Amino acid sequence: MERLIKALLPNWHQTTPQPNAAWSGCLLCQAKTRQELSAFEFHIRRDHSALFDVTDTREAFKRVLRHIARSQPSAQSPDVFATDAAVVHHDDWLDRLKDCASQSDVEQHDKEVRLSSAPVAQLRSSSPRASAARASSDLSDHSEPASEPASVTKMIRQPETGPVTLEQLVAEAIASDAGLCMIEAKCIECDGIQETGLLGQEQYQALVTLHESLLRWYYDLFQSSWHPSADEDLHRFAPKDRAVRMWKHGIHGFLELLCRGLPDTADHMRTVINHAYRIMTLLCREVPALESTWIECLGNLSEYQVRIEDNTEDKRVWTDIARSWHSMASDKAPTLGRHYHRLADLALSNNALQRLYLYSKSLCVPSPFLGARESIRTLFDPFLSRSSEGLDPVDAAFVRVHGIFFTGECKEQLQTSIDEFLELLDNRIEHQDSFLWLEKGYYLSISLCCLMLDFGAESNVLMQALTGHRTNERVGDKPAHEGHWNPEERFGEAVHFAVRACEVVFRRSGDINTLSFIHTMLAFMYRMSQLTAAMSYLENRFPWGLTCKMLNCLIGMTVTEPRISTEVLPGSDKPEKGLSSLPLPEDYALRGLLFTEHIFPSGWFDNDNLDEAERYMESERRTPNREQRLERILWLGCRIASNGKGLTWDAKRRQFEEFRPSLSCTMATRFRGVSGRGTRGPYPRRVQGWFRSCLGYDEAALR
C-alpha cells in the first residue's frame, strides 16, 4: 500500500475534481474510472499491476475518497465504507505516509520499473508524462455541457497537439541510447555464456524477451534520431554502424544460438524472426536513409525462416522471398559482393551455371566478398569428384574446368574436361531453346571473364591493370592453387580456354542464340582495350579475325540503321522510357562488375517498367531485345576499333576489319635488335624473309 500511495501522492495536488461528478480521473494515468471499489480494483490490476494488492488497494481507495471529500466538501461521495474513524488532517496524514515509505523502497521500485518496462515509445501509455496531463486538460475543454442529459453522447474533437521539438527528440534519443546500451550488454553476456550448451525452454523464453526488448529500444533510438524534425547532428547519433550493431547483437547472435538447438527451438526462432521482421519493415518506412541495411536484414531473416520450415512449399516460398530481398539489396548497392554471395547460396542446386556466375561475380566487384572463396568450394567439390548426377554434361564440364583452375586440384582432368565442353557446346547451342540459351549465354561469358581475372585475385595481371594497384593485397585473397601451379602458365591456359570457347560461339554467325554471349564478351574486351597493360596480354590471343566476320554478318541482320558511331550507349539518350529502352537481361548481370563501371550511364537502371522477376528472363514481351542486342554488339565493336585495338571500322564501306598494323608493330618490336647490331642496323636476311612471310608479303613480288 505504501508503494501505491507513494505513486499517487505526486499527482494529488494537480487534480481538480469536478463537483457532483459520477466519474473521476485516475491520479496515476488520468484515465476515467467510476468511484466504486470494483472499478478501482479492476483499473489498478489492469494498468498498474506492479502496485496491485487486494488489501492495499481497498485501503488506498478509502483514502482517495477522503481526499476527494476534503477537496470538495459540498459533494456527497458514495458511502462505500461505513467507518467511525475520525478524518485525519491531510497534511498530518501526508507526513506520516512519507515517514512510512522509506527512500530505499522508492528507489528500488523505480529501478524495477525501469528494468522491466518497455522502451520509451511504450511507456507513453502507462507513464504520467506531462503530455498526458496536457491531453487531459484539452479534453476537459471540450467536454459536454452540464445541461445535456446523461444519455446523450457527443463526439469529442481531437485535442490540439504541438509539434515535436528538437529538444524533445534529443532527450528521447539519449534516453533510448542509455537503455539499449544496458540491455545490449546483457544480451552479449548471455549469448556468450550459453554458446557452450543447450538451455531449457524457460531460459530460452527469457532470452527471447530480453532480445525483443533490445530491438524495441533500438527502434525508439532510430525513430527519434531520424525524425523529420531532427537535424544532421541528431542523425549522426544513430548512424549505419548502429544498425549493424542492432543486427549483430539483437538478432544474428541470438538466432545462431537458437539454430544450435533446432528442432526444439523452432518456435522460439519463429517468435524472434516475426518480431524482428516487423521492426525492420517499420524502419524501412520510417528511416529510408538506411533502407539498404534494413532490406539486407529482411533478406537474412527470410533465410533463417527457410531453416525452420518443414514443408517443402513453405521453404520454396520463403526462398523466393529471401531472393527478392537480396536482389533488391543488390540494386541499392550493386558493387557489394556479399549480396551476390547470398543470391548464389539461394540459387537452385541444379542451376550450376547460375551459381558459378554469382559466386564469381561476388569476387570480381569493387567490394568483393572474400568469404565466397570458401563457399564456392561447395559448388566445385561434387564436379571435381564427378559425383554430379542428373546435370547437363555441358554445364558439368564447364563448371569442372573452373573448379580445376580455382582449386588447382585434379589437373589431370583439365584437358579432357575442356575438350568435352567444346565438343558438346556447338550442338547444345543449336538445339536448345533460344530463350534458355540466351540466359545461359551470359552466364558462360561472364564466368569466362571472371576466370581470366582469376576470380578477382590481385596477383592477376588483368586485375592489376583494372585496379591500377590502388589497393594492397587483401587477407584471404590469394588463390588456393598458388604455390603448385605457375601463375603465368595458369593464366595462359585460362585465356586459351576462353578464346577457344569464343571461337566456337563466333563461328555460329547469324545465330541469335549467341547474341547475349557475344554482347557480354565484347563488353569485357571493350574495357580491356582501354587498358594498354591488359591488352598486351590479350591482343595477340583474341580471335579478331572471327570477330570481324561475325560483326559484319550481324550488320546485315539489322532492320533499322544501327547507331554505332555515338559516344554514349545506344538508347541512353532517349527521353521516353518504353520497352525499347529497357536494359537487357545481361545488363543486370553485368551491373557492378569491375570491367563494366564505365559502360552504363547513370540512371540506366532506373526504368521501372519491368518487374523484378522479369529482369533476367527472355520472353515474348521483350521482343525488341534482338534489335537492341545487335545494335549494342556493333556499338561495342566500333568502340573497340576507336581505341585502336584489334579492330578497325570503315564507315564508308560499313565493315569491320582486323587491325593488322598493331600486329606488324608488335612483331617488329620483338625482332628489333635480333642481329645484335642495335636498332639501326639491318636484320639478317633469313630473319627478314621469315618476318615478311609472317606478315603475308610475297617475297618474289618484293624483288
* 70 vs 249 pLDDT, higher one: 249
Torsion sign (Cα): 543, 546, 552, 553 = negative
Contact residues for 202 (Cβ-Cβ < 8 A; gap 6+):
none
Q: Is 534 helix (H, G, I), strand (E, B) or coil?
A: helix
Average predicted confidence (pLDDT) for the chain? 76
Report how far residue 243's alpha carbon sits from residue 220's, in angstroms, rounded to the nearest whole number: 12
Is it the case that residue 74 has pLDDT exceeding 80?
no
Q: How many angstroms separate the CA atoms of 259 and 264, rounded?
A: 9
Determine the average pLDDT of the residues in 92-96: 38
Q: What percent of the chain has pLDDT over 70?
A: 64
Q: What is the mean pLDDT of residues 137-150?
A: 46
Decide if 394 contacts 401 (C-beta within 8 A): no
Ramachandran region, residue 30 (left: φ > 0; alpha: ψ -120 to 50; beta: rest): left
140 CB neighbour count, 10 Å cutoff: 11
Please count the helices (runs of H) and the strands (runs of E) in the chain.
Answer: 32, 4
Residue 575 has pLDDT above 70, yes or no: no
Per DSSP, 372 falls in state H
Find out whether 424 and 395 touch, Cβ atoms under 8 Å.
Answer: no
Domain borders along the chain are 2-141, 166-332, 535-665, 672-702
Q: What is the rounded distance in angstroms from the CA atom of residue 62 to the CA atom of residue 87?
A: 11
* Each residue's pLDDT tens digit, 474-529: 444 555 555 467 888 889 999 999 999 999 999 998 888 899 999 999 999 999 99
pLDDT at 237: 87
Q: Strand 23-25 relative to strand 32-34: parallel, antiparallel, unpaired?
A: antiparallel
CA nearest to 359, candidates 349, 369, 348: 369
Q: What's at 440, amino acid-wise?
A: K
**Cβ neighbours of residue 203 closer than 8 Å, sequence gap 6 or more:** 194
Cα(116)–Cα(122) distance, integer angstroms:
12
* pLDDT digits 0-9 by tens, 168-198: 999 999 999 998 999 999 998 888 776 556 6
Quote the pLDDT of residue 125: 36
Pick the closest to residue 283 from 224, 233, 334, 353 (CA basis): 224
Give the residue among 226, 120, 131 at the shortest CA–CA distance from 172.
120
CB 514 within 8 A of CB 505: yes
- Tell me how far apart the alpha carbons of residues 372 and 532 are, in angstroms, rounded to a whole number: 30
Q: What pLDDT score was predicted for residue 24?
A: 54
Q: What is the dihedral of CA 541, 543, 544, 545, to 10 degrees?
A: 130
pLDDT at 124: 35
Ordered DSSP codes for 282-297: HHHHH-GGGHHHHHHH
Q: Structure pTM? A: 0.71
Strand partners, 367: 336
pLDDT above 90 for 279: yes
Distances (CA, A) of 178 to 88, 234, 252, 519, 637: 44, 15, 22, 56, 61
Angle (deg, nearest 10), helices 377-384 and 393-407: 110
Q: What is the pLDDT of residues 19-62, one digit of tens each?
A: 444 445 565 565 666 666 667 666 776 676 655 555 566 666 66
Q: pLDDT tens digits for 290-348?
A: 999 999 999 999 999 999 998 999 999 999 999 999 999 999 999 999 999 999 999 98
Residue 106 pLDDT > 50: no
How much is the pLDDT for 273? 97
H-assigned helices in 152-235: 166-193, 201-225, 232-235
